[in-house]
Amino acid sequence: MTSTDPPTRVSGDRCPGAIRLHPAADGGLARMRVPGGLLAAAQVDVLADAAHRLGHDAIHLTARGNVEIRGLSEAGGAELGTLLADAGVLPSTTHERVRNVVVSPTAGLDGEGHTHGLVDVVRALDALLLDTPRAADLSGRFLFGLDDGRGDVLALAPDVAARWVSPDSAEIVVGGMPVLVAAAQDVPRALVTAACAFLDARDAAGETGWRLAELRSSDDVVTAIVDALVGAGAAGIPDDGFTPAPVHDGTPVPPGPVGEHAAHLVLPLGEAPATTWAALADVARRGDELVRTTPWRSVLLAGLDTAERDALLGRAAELGLVVDPADPAVGASACTGLPGCEKSRADVRGDLRAALETFRAADLDPTPQDERLPLHVSGCDRRCGHPRRAHLEAVAGADEYATGHADGSPATGAPLPQGQDDLGSLLAAR
């Protein structure tokens, strides 16, 4: 498990937050952590109003289900911080960037997995994180995962995770490897204990990596994490071994109806205007009052009666959202590109939108979603926001895109692909 040639970190990460904004070419960028993707309808209203008044109107989703607002002035960023604190989106100034928690989005909604839902677990984990001073030293890149047993979250490679193996118990997974089993009610304590043990063991080894996979001594760190968990009584060694994890390639559930009372809607290129978010909040109030964001740049609304759910699905196009799994926008993503990022060589979002419209106009038969490779378009060699699974990639050059297959591993500094296909051809080739 020990990584090869891990990066040497000589400073803290530069991940933006709600307080420390990133000075992008199009203004300040604020990134709000949304543990488990759980946004109350009232919080969505606050974000939509802030995006409209203070930013460029749109709210963006990240590959961890967090939300971003772009185009903020210095004064706008300060006002945003106050609004978020009042709404409960920013409950801590010391821990705000470490609240990175991804969950199985449809847990408890579709009859799959081993839980009746993970909302209470997310809230307990977040509360414990906020109440643990040492956790504030985690990097904004460190990732917690809660997998209901189907394997979708493990496919995102969280640093520490829990994978439910029954309604009452979960395996604690560290660096992709199950190490112990905890009672379901002990999962939050186990994960926070593991994260703090990561920090202690990393520091003791004289390393600076932000994530477990970056450490040269990762095996020793995992051993230290296991010792800490056992010592805290947070987890134990199973009597009958570990349950084999299902093979999951990271393909999300398709957009459309989920179970009897939920709807899954994709945001094309991971963004939607403030009016769309406000409309989603309005519908959520007639359900369980949550707008769930996902690591696949989509949203879930649950607790709706059948008529309300079907009405939402029926007006998805009006809201600029996708509910047809055959739509080519499903699985297509891009980094910020020009004009928002000065490192970009192209307006990658504009180019991809144009290619999507041309593809739709040609009325071609798309590959079924469960067989379709994602496509990610990048404006520079860093490939920000690329999928963590096999995908097609296009990296902007001076005059054309370099295209090819990628395996989903960290891509910064990786060689450029050798193809020179246009984006329309890549959409057709998926």
CA distances from 124 to 128, 143, 182, 192 (A): 6, 16, 15, 11
Domain architecture of the chain: domains with CATH = 1-14+93-251 (3.30.413.10), 262-314 (no CATH), 332-429 (3.30.413.10)
3-state SS record for the chain:
CCCCCCCCCCCCCCCCCCCCCEEECCEEEEEECCHHHEEEHHHHHHHHHHHHHHCCCEEEECCCCCEEEEEECHHHHHHHHHHHHHHCCCCCCCCHHHCCEEECCCCCCCCCCCCCCCHHHHHHHHHHHHCCHHHHHCCCCCCEEEECCCCCCHHHCCCEEEEEEECCEEEEEECCEEEEEEEHHHHHHHHHHHHHHHHHHHHHCCCCCCCHHHCCCHHHHHHHHHHHHHHCCCCECCCCCCCCCCCCCCCCCCCEEECCCEEEEECHHHEEEHHHHHHHHHHHCCCCCEEEECCCCEEEECCCCHHHHHHHHHCCCCCCCECCCCCCCCCEEECCCCCCCCCCCCCHHHHHHHHHHHHHHCCCCCCCHHHCCCEEEECCCCCCCCCCCCEEEEEECCCCEEEEEECCCCCCCCCCCCECCCHHHHHHHC
Report pLDDT for 368: 81
- Would you place residue 413 in the very low, low, confident or very high pLDDT band (cuts 50, 70, 90)? low
pLDDT at 411: 63
pLDDT at 409 over 90: no
Identify the pLDDT of residue 284: 99
pLDDT tens-digit readout, 133-172: 999 999 999 999 999 999 999 999 999 999 999 999 999 9
Nearest CA-CA partner of 143 in 161, 123, 167, 163: 161
Over residues 272-329, the pLDDT tens digits come to 999 999 999 999 999 999 999 999 999 999 999 999 999 999 999 999 999 999 999 9
